[in-house]
A and B are shown apart, each in its own frame.
Chain A
């Protein structure tokens, strides 16, 4: 039996790696991938807690999180494509038209 603490530690590590990846990367698509990593880390913590408290409903909620993530990916990638079509780049360094 694996202690749930191990899963929490792994979840925290993945979440922090996701945040580091978000700041580290310089293009919209990879930053979007970093957000997906953070969502997955949250799912892992959720399922670990569900396991340790024998709460089946949590799996249904994780199912909803995955579904909403799919919808979010569709919209987000559409926006990225739209930005690429208008600006011809997705590098965040060059997307600074809102800078004063």
Chain B
């Protein structure tokens, strides 16, 4: 059962990323990416991380992609992507991608097989993550909140129309 779900989610993820590459319309690319992130959320759930699955779907597929779609709406590019795409750059991208794939596979193959943990975990409860977040990782948590405030202020300052513009 779980293995069937894995292949279903994996097919959805890879298929929608391919669709995002092939699609010429940015809005369709963004929607394909929503599907990819949602199926990745399902995979996180299969990995015994239900909290991460929910966070992935709410923050990535929800908030971040809505942000992307807003920006796509604001940037009105009359026609789609330029047609005079150079063919050799596509070939170079695919070629370099295949080389990278081979390199990573070669590097991972040399590593010893990852041993499986003895018993199957029931999945980590959000309680456990919350406890870790507010004890062991309290300082990183606080620093992350400062980072988010800095990002918000930075985005507002960047976008703000200046005088005489």
Main secondary structure of the interface of B (DSSP, over half): helix
- Select which of B13, B29, B52, B136 is within 8 A of A57 by beta carbon: B136
The residues of B that contact A12 with a CB separation of less than 8 Å are: 101, 104-105, 108
* Distance between Cα atoms of A34 and B104 in the complex (Å): 19
Of chain A, the residue at the smallest CB distance from B145 is A67
Interface residues of B in 9-52 (CB under 8 A from A): 10, 13-14, 17-18, 20-21, 26, 29-30, 33, 36-37, 40, 43-44, 46-49, 51-52
Q: Which residues of A contact B (CB under 8 A)?
A: 1-8, 10, 12-27, 29-30, 32-33, 36-37, 40, 43-44, 47-54, 56-57, 59-60, 62-64, 66-75, 77-82, 84, 89-91, 93
Of chain B, the residue at the smallest CB distance from A84 is B75
Top 4 nearest A-B pairs (CB, nearest first) are: A23-B93, A71-B151, A78-B155, A20-B97
Is B8 interfacial (CB-CB < 8 Å)?
no
* Distance between Cα atoms of A15 and B123 in the complex (Å): 26
The residues of A that contact B116 with a CB separation of less than 8 Å are: 1, 3-4, 52
**Given A21-B21, A29-B71 in contact, is the A63-B117 Cβ separation under 8 Å?**
no
Is B128 a contact of A56 with CB atoms below 8 Å?
A: yes
Is A44 a contact of B43 with CB atoms below 8 Å?
A: yes
Q: Which residues of B contact A (CB under 8 A)?
A: 2-3, 6, 10, 13-14, 17-18, 20-21, 26, 29-30, 33, 36-37, 40, 43-44, 46-49, 51-52, 55-56, 59-60, 63-64, 67-68, 71-72, 74-75, 77, 81-82, 85, 89-90, 92-94, 96-98, 100-101, 104-105, 108, 113-117, 120-121, 124, 128-129, 132-133, 136-137, 140, 144, 147-148, 150-152, 154-155, 158-159
**Given A19-B96, A33-B68 in contact, is the A74-B155 Cβ separation under 8 Å?**
yes
Of chain A, the residue at the smallest CB distance from B161 is A85
Is B137 a contact of A60 with CB atoms below 8 Å?
A: yes
Total contacts A-B at CB 8 Å: 213
Is B18 a contact of A17 with CB atoms below 8 Å?
A: yes
A–B complex contacts, Cβ < 8 Å, 27 sampled: A2-B6, A8-B108, A14-B17, A16-B98, A16-B104, A19-B100, A21-B20, A27-B77, A29-B68, A30-B26, A36-B64, A37-B20, A37-B36, A44-B43, A51-B48, A51-B117, A52-B115, A52-B116, A54-B121, A56-B124, A59-B51, A60-B133, A64-B137, A70-B148, A71-B147, A71-B151, A84-B74
The residues of A that contact B97 with a CB separation of less than 8 Å are: 16-17, 19-20, 23
